[in-house]
Amino acid sequence: MKFFIDTANLDDIREAHDLGVLDGVTTNPSLMAKEGIKGQENVIAHYKAICDIVENNVSAEVISTDFEGMIREGLELAKIDDKIVVKIPMIRDGVKALKYLTNEGIRTNCTLVFSPGQALLAAKAGASYVSPFIGRLDDISTDGLELIAQIVHIYQNYGFGTEVLAASIRHTMHLIQCAEIGADVVTCPLNVITSLLNHPLTDQGLEKFLADHKKANS
């Protein structure tokens, strides 16, 4: 299972990378705006900075919603670095753009996926990754994890090469349940990754080991 961090914050990306378990980064226009990144030059420079930190898989999202615009932006983003994966929204022109960019040998991530039918279309169009949003479905009282299970099942039925990238992950149980279901990738904020470290018995156990060691050596 791959771990991606869902942020445009360079400190968080460095911290996750330093932990040694990071496989990539996903961003979106909201996350870029949160870091105050605006203007084409700054956006490109920021993606370059992210690519300098991680080994692979930096999802950069297009802003256009028409086919020509998405292709133009997608080609520009792909030029930044081989690590870039062009993120395309699940809309009619987006499906066409996924197909076009895939044929050009550019990796793609189909975002804003909320149904198995949308995931099927993304796979048919050749997307490298499909991003179903768990948390946002949970927010409207719909089981986001059930969607992940449906997509994993459908892709297995037909041997689609598209990887299931579980997105909009809010807490560790989302992540662990995605692992149980068999999602290929999870993308989440830094705190979800670091929270996996936590267990009170680990803390208590370590405290006791160190105390016993100190006693024996004093």
Q: Which residues bind ligand E4P (CB under 6 A)?
A: 6, 26, 28, 111, 131, 133, 135-136, 167-168, 187
Look up residue 179 and give its amino acid.
A
**Residue 96 is a catalytic residue:** no
Closest CB 159 distance from ligand E4P, rounded Å: 24
Closest CB 134 distance from ligand E4P, rounded Å: 8
Closest CB 91 distance from ligand E4P, rounded Å: 15
Q: Which of the residues 79, 87, 99, 208 is marked catalytic?
A: 87
Label the pairing between strands 24-26 and 185-188. unpaired
- Residue closer to ligand E4P (CB basis): 30 or 157: 30
Closest CB 115 distance from ligand E4P, rounded Å: 16
- Residue closer to ligand E4P (CB basis): 6 or 23: 6
CA quadruple 120, 22, 12, 82: dihedral sign: negative
- Residue closer to ligand E4P (CB basis): 5 or 149: 5
- Residue closer to ligand E4P (CB basis): 88 or 167: 167
How far apart CA 193 and CA 19 sit, in angstroms, is 10
Q: Which residues carry out catalysis?
A: 87
